[in-house]
Amino acid sequence: MAAPTRAPAELKSALDGVHRAGVPGVYAEVRDAGRTWRGASGVADVKTGRPVRSDMRQRVGSVTKTFTAAAVMQQVEQGRIELDAPIGGYLPQLVPGERGRKITVRMLLNNTSGIPDYIRYAFPSLADASPASLDDNRFRQFRPAELIEMGLAAPPAGEPGATPGVYSNSNYLLLGQLLEQVTGTPAQEYITRNVIERAGLRHTGFPDGPRIEGPHSRMYEALWGVMDPPRDYSVYNMSWTGTGAALVSTMEDLNRFYGKLLDGEIVSRSSLAQMQRTVPVVALDGSTIEYGLGLHKVETQGCGTFWGHDGTVWGAGTISLTRADGKRQMSVAVNLQRWNEPDSSGNPQPHPIDDALKTLYRQAMCGSGSGSAGGSAGGSGSE
């Protein structure tokens, strides 16, 4: 990989556009046929004016799911896990009875299990558009089993295996428990050793406590305009999302990871082919996406098919996409979330940030071409 150069004018202009539209700080790394551009715009701290930098660490939310899925596929390759085996055979205490017999490992991976997301139950004040439970849970230590139980106790989101599936963090907490069961190793430790270290990532890991180690931005949560000004949630106990969305990484590391994954260096080519078999899934924002086994497929007009994931946590949004041929990559981070205020009917209103991000993604994915790309930093993410 060639040494990084200054971001081209169009990319820097697009980054500045996102900042001008209202995001305190945005940063990105784009790779194109051996060339690497990095750029940043805005501030990491609105009080001090400390600038955001392209090498900062970020809570990457549901991008974590690709790492967890890759770890599961390694165990499939070793014969310890069968994709189409019922999860109840592995975790009878967590998913007992008929559900445990009907839901397979594959259904957890591609979000067709019908198990709903637990987040609305772990953060009940969200139903009233209140930040109270966000603050109450800042230092709370959740156990995966109690979060999974919240999801299983809720009305099913659909029949096991039915499409479209419904995106759910409950699935990926169960996959973490599955990894622990079959390897005898804590899931986060297994993922660290066999996925993160295998990919050669130097700035990626599960946090040990509520603080991010190393240079990072503050993380500003607007909660659909309820918090004005937005509140900083960069210090947070991530046990509420674990193997679903707890990773900290950099944009450089994410591009490196997806490049190696899609090149067959993390899982086998046959495993990758399984990961790229997609089904329609309804994301948490209500849109329908093409979802594989921990991979999101994004088709662009005029510049190809991309694979990757996006993610959000309180105050931070990330998206990382790699073109199918591996020659074009983009990873983008923002330090503001849920900026769309609702109208009188409760529907989120468009915001200039939405259009500015689309412009940035189009430039990052397609260069100066005429291709178009939609989506948002975190559309299918952890919340």
Catalytic residue ranges = 62
Distance CA 263, CA 196 (A): 15
What's the length of the chain? 383
Q: Which residues partner with 312 through β-bridges?
A: 317
User: 90-123 burial, b for 16+ CB within 10 Å, e for fewer?
Assistant: bbeebbeeebbebbbbbbbbbbbbbbbbbbbbbb
Q: How many CA atoms lie within 13 A of 267 on its CB side?
A: 27
Helix axes 144-153, 169-183, angle to 10 degrees: 130
Question: Can you spell out the DSSP letters for 98-166?
Answer: HHHHH-BHHHHHTT-S-PPPSHHHHSGGGGGT--HHHHHTTT----HHHHHHHHHHSPPSS-TT-SSEE
- The single residue listed with the structure tokens 């210090």 is 235
- In this structure, the number of other CB atoms found within 10 A of the CB of residue 26 comes to 30
Quick one: which of 36, 25, 29 has its CA closest to 55? 29
Quick one: which of 202, 203, 239 has its CA closest to 57? 203
The 8-class DSSP code of residue 302 comes to: T
Grouping H, G, I as helix, E, B as strand and the rest as coil, residue 311 is: strand
